[in-house]
Structure 1
């Protein structure tokens, strides 16, 4: 599985980096709502909507990595299947 190490290793590192950046996003959302309580409702809605989308995206990424690397560890036939969480992320980015 030497050729898969680089592929799935890169995906795992990417999800870890994304999780760190998600933490930064959480701090920014907290600071926004604390420092600008009288901001326009549309700005608050936009911040909450983007935070929600980021949360869903990170959850789907974690599910995909968990499914391939933990649930189907040492089961190379499952590599032929595209997990549903990856299909959701890919189809939403194509539209």
Structure 2
């Protein structure tokens, strides 16, 4: 089995220093697909309504072999929109 490193990007790069062994491309893809929402759920933006989360998978030669991106986009609709604060002149 080969070792792959699952780096995470959310505006800042978080490099995986340890990695994990995977049997091949299908397992790499599966691990990325499961890890991405789990990591992103802990990082939902608290001061905005848009954020992209990306996993970049590197092989043992430090070559990126797979990427996956999950995007969060929140939109206020109608009556649920928060009140606009008036600015002081």
TM surpasses 0.5: no
Give the TM-score taking structure 2 as reference length.
0.30
Larger of the two Rg values belongs to structure: 2
Greater strand share, 1 or 2? 2
Give the TM-score taking structure 1 as reference length.
0.28
Greater helix share, 1 or 2? 1
